[in-house]
Structure 1
Amino acid sequence: MADFEEQQNLLEEDDESSSGERGSASGADRQMSAICDPSRALHRVVVLTFMCFLGFGSYFCYDNPAALQTQVIQDLNLNTAKFMQLYAWYSWPNVVLCFFGGFLLDRVFGIRLGTIIFSLFVCVGQVIFAAGAWLDLFWLMEVGRFVFGIGGESLAVAQNTYAVNWFKGKELNLVFGLQLSMARLGSTVNMNIMGWVYNKVAAAVGSPGYYTLGASLMIAAVTCVFSLICALVLGFLDKRAERILHKEQGKTGEVIKLTDVKDFPLTLWLIFIICVGYYVAIFPFIGLGQVFFIEKFNFSPAEARAVNSIVYIISAPASPVLGFMVDKTGRNVVWVITAVVATLAAHVMLAFTFWNPWIAMSLLGVSYSLLACALWPMVAFVVPEHQLGTAYGFMQSIQNLGLALIAMAAGAILDSRGYLVLEVFFCACICIALIAVVMLYFVDYVKGGDLNQSAAARAKVQKEATSDAEAKRRPSKQTQGDLARLAPMSAFSLRNRYLSRLGAQDTS
């Protein structure tokens, strides 16, 4: 009864009428109570809405340079190598922050304050980026992208932590899928609307130029302000739920120990090579794709932006569906091989044929989603659970390092050799990933084929491991903790782990 009265006071329901009068309350009043009650599904839907929009501004503004590639190069008088530094400067801070974002959320700021701080970094970074274009100061734009990168990756970690905190249980997979779809929606809307915004601003000021570019990027910053508002609202709702439900703040669950790196098996290092070799042929290509489609296929700017964004459009609905398929079939290594081969075929078509690029880009979108579904969960199969934080942090760190270096290399190749050589370079990167995944297949086969098991065989092993762990359980906390770390993760936990990593950055 005390809990009921506390909830009523917090919800500002001061109605002291009799129980009969409350029973005759209107349906609208009962619906409002459900919206305000943190233990009810309707209230969690409201929280989920703000949770999904939390990362919208970050994903929208991440690819602002790609959406305005022609305008940035022309208005600021840049070469492609300089242009690609805007992506490199985003990746540099995340070479390190991948290890410490979760630690800062857990031990320093807390989930609520941490989310607000990371949202502020994203917002301030985009404003600095826009101001640099407005003032025709490219170095200031680089500073802005660096600040933006500090907040972007860590904000994704915070978003995933909120999801786990609010939706533990059967809803969690759906929530991660919705967050991923909203992230891809932000990238897609950016690709298709920023050119229109630039043209409208140019018409208003009389002519295009760096002032118009800066104004357009400042308008894009509104999405970051919107995400900051979502962070503030989420903080309020989470604090309120903590008071009402007496729950603790969520934690990332990631324990980072760099000394674990020396214990990583060969299969994990091959997974790292696949990750870097694959993603460096995706994101730098999208960053440079608009002009490629204009020059090679004579597309209009609007058509070029549309085909360049098809990877994100397909990824939004396909990632949850393909992830479910991989969960039900297993055979992760085979699916990774399929995705890498399909991506190589897409780049070969773009490089050496004049077929409609919608075919190759659609294939690229499906294979990109499939690889993420099959590759990232494999980390949890080859390292014990207490090393997962270090393994995933290291994987993201070298991925960002590769993206930073390849972004600059791609710009230099394009300036000196042209798009054909650049596409051959991307094909070579994919070939490295293909060699690594074939090696992974044989190494795993020699070790017993754990990574390429069917879903049924994996479930059987999981069941046996769980039975053995229960049989050997001891009262001591130390023994229980050791068993928890050594027991394989369930398929459900692996699925959540994969989705949380996808949400952490579209670079996954």
Structure 2
Amino acid sequence: MEDEQPVASGSVKYHHIEEDIITWKHPSHLLQRLLALFFMCIIGFGSYFCYDNPGALQDNFLKDMNLTTSQFVYLYSWYAWPNVILCIVGGFLIDRVFGLRLGTIIYALLVVIGQIVFAAGAYFNTLWLMLLGRLIFGTGGESLAVAQNNYAVLWFKGKELNMVFGFQLSFARVGSTVNFLVMEPLYKYVKTVYQGPDNVSMSIVLLIASLTCVISLVSGLLLAWQDKRAEKLLHRKLPESGEVVKLTDVKHFTKSFWLISFIIVCYYASIFPFVALGKVFFEKKYNYSPGEANIINGLIYSLGAFLAPLFGFVIDKTGRNVFWVFISVLGTLVAHMLLTFTFINPYVAMLTMGTSYSMLASALWPLIAMVVPEYQMGTAYGIAQAVENLGLGTVALLTGIIVDADGYYMVELFFCFLLTVALLLSAVLWLSDTLDKGELNMSINQRHEMESNKIPQPEQENLLKDTTNED
């Protein structure tokens, strides 16, 4: 899971604001910041709701559109593959061309258009048109996630950033959860009202789902207005150093950034493709009905909606991000092993996986903001999501082939392998950080002390003089 001015991802400086002029209408007031957070969260709602429309209706897609499992996973791989490049470009355009506000609006509009084209492909029962819709949808959706991350850093860095990332995940996963809860009943309702061809019924359902994307677009417009107003009242300005974003700066990103990116790839490749195929998996292995299978398959996202903000709050108070990442990956690996090797009630595994997933999102993504300069934030998050999409597109294709050839047991073994790699990479990141300055795994008190020590010596002396004069 960003405008108009390059300042969106640049460091932000505020003029001094007297306490007596800060009212609820002022951008620095808590109410205004909460309102901005609400808009940030809603921006991703439609994208996440529609992303897993195929997963919630997997068996219906296979039957109504006469697809094989390998063809079905194209609906996910064609979402992911183009973003290997376009996600980087999207983040760069935010930093260098569009700015955060305009970029967010453009990408939200692409999400709406992509979902409508996807629905049109179902109406004409044309796979290539459906794939085109998913491509357009993915182009907007992944870049929109970059925009969300930039907005979060812009408004909340140095305050409650981990919790804000948790809230963003929470609302996004509310979209995914609602998708798994309502798409099957909605499909059945449309089938009772409309007695025509199955593919036309599917098209109507997908078109209704596009309304959530329209809501996200409206939220992007409102947030752009609010951010423009905040920029004016708070006198935001670019860094005095005049740094300019260049794509060639990528070669200067640290090894920690690349380790974080590859952990993202291996971890999410064991989550999203699993959810995409999970409905039929739970139907076949545990004999669940389609409705029951959707409920348990969406449990990962349901837990994320409630637990991600809580874990974000805990991490904001404790720090130790790398520790939380390691525990999250380990918990997800245990959950997949339970699904692979046992017949224990799958709710145990899914509760473990959902809890771990919530923990990881709140701990891992903010690490990028710690290892990359602020003026490169859009590009950095774009690259991270581009690498993620390379993995997701490839894994989605492989899982479809594996299911058709060898069944779900081999797919689960594959997910366990990916998580083992993610666990090893997390250990390497932890060791590397320990041998360096240990900034990524500091406690919150150590982090505050480090930040205070970064104040230039003349400023420290002035602060000391001011304190002495007051005494």
Q: Aligning the two structures, in what range does the TM-score lie when normalised by the shorter sequence?
A: 0.7 to 0.9
Residue 349 of structure 1: aligned partner: 338
Superposition map of 1:421-436 within 5 A: 421-436=410-425
Residue 428 of structure 2: aligned partner: 439
Distance 1:35 1:282 in 2: 41
Distance 1:283 1:263 in 2: 30
Per-residue deviation, residues 25-81 of structure 1 (Å, max 9, x unmatched): xxxxxxxxx998878766776665555433321111111111111111111111111
Residue 189 of structure 2: aligned partner: 200
Distance 1:77 1:119 in 2: 31
Distance 1:263 1:164 in 2: 21
Cα contact 1:57–1:227 (8 A) shared by 2: yes
Give the secondary structure class of the aligned counterpart of 2:399: helix
Task: Single out whichever of 133-142 and 179-188 deviates more from structure 2.
Answer: 179-188
Give the secondary structure class of the aligned counterpart of 1:281: coil
Cα contact 1:110–1:249 (8 A) shared by 2: no
Residue 8 of structure 2: aligned partner: none
Cα contact 1:111–1:250 (8 A) shared by 2: no
**Structure 1 gaps, min length 5:** 1-33, 474-508
Distance 1:216 1:307 in 2: 22
Residue 359 of structure 2: aligned partner: 370
Cα contact 1:69–1:290 (8 A) shared by 2: yes
How much does 1:296 deviate?
Answer: 0.5
Residue 382 of structure 2: aligned partner: 393
Compared with structure 1, are the counterparts of its residues 370 and 133 closer, same or farther at alpha carbon in structure 2 (3 Å cutoff)?
A: same
Task: Single out whichever of 42-51 and 351-360 deviates more from structure 2.
Answer: 42-51
Distance 2:243 2:414 in 1: 36
Distance 2:458 2:49 in 1: 46
Distance 1:437 1:102 in 2: 25
RMSD between aligned residues: 3.4
**Alignment of 1:81 onto 2:70:** yes
**Alignment of 1:97 onto 2:81:** no
Instruction: Pick from 128, 139, 154 the counterpart of residue 143 of structure 2.
Output: 154
Task: Single out whichever of 254-263 and 360-369 deviates more from structure 2.
Answer: 254-263
- Specify the code of the residue in structure 2 equivalent to 1:70: D
Distance 1:249 1:382 in 2: 22
**Alignment of 1:309 onto 2:302:** no
Residue 53 of structure 1: aligned partner: 42
TM-score, normalising length from structure 2?
Answer: 0.82
Cα contact 1:380–1:388 (8 A) shared by 2: yes
Compared with structure 1, are the counterparts of its residues 469 and 160 closer, same or farther at alpha carbon in structure 2 (3 Å cutoff)?
A: farther
Residue 228 of structure 1: aligned partner: 217
Cα contact 1:256–1:389 (8 A) shared by 2: no
Task: Single out whichever of 214-223 and 423-432 deviates more from structure 2.
Answer: 214-223
Per-residue deviation, residues 370-424 of structure 1 (Å, max 9, x unmatched): 2222323334444555655544332222111111111111111111110000000
Compared with structure 1, are the counterparts of its residues 165 and 215 closer, same or farther at alpha carbon in structure 2 (3 Å cutoff)?
A: same
Per-residue deviation, residues 213-246 of structure 1 (Å, max 9, x unmatched): 111111111222233333444555666x479859
- Specify the code of the residue in structure 2 equivalent to 1:187: S
Give the secondary structure class of the aligned counterpart of 2:284: helix
Compared with structure 1, are the counterparts of its residues 442 and 167 closer, same or farther at alpha carbon in structure 2 (3 Å cutoff)?
A: closer
Compared with structure 1, are the counterparts of its residues 272 and 415 closer, same or farther at alpha carbon in structure 2 (3 Å cutoff)?
A: same
Distance 1:382 1:43 in 2: 29
**Alignment of 1:69 onto 2:58:** yes
Residue 6 of structure 1: aligned partner: none
Q: How many aligned residue pairs are there? A: 438
Compared with structure 1, are the counterparts of its residues 321 and 255 closer, same or farther at alpha carbon in structure 2 (3 Å cutoff)?
A: farther
- Specify the code of the residue in structure 1 equivalent to 2:427: V
Task: Single out whichever of 70-79 and 107-116 deviates more from structure 2.
Answer: 107-116
Superposition map of 1:109-508 within 5 A: 109-160=98-149, 177-206=166-195, 209-235=198-224, 241=229, 245=233, 256-383=245-372, 388-447=377-436, 449-466=438-455, 470=459
How much does 1:134 deviate?
Answer: 1.1
Higher relative contact order (CA 8 A, sep 6+): 2
Give the secondary structure class of the aligned counterpart of 2:455: helix
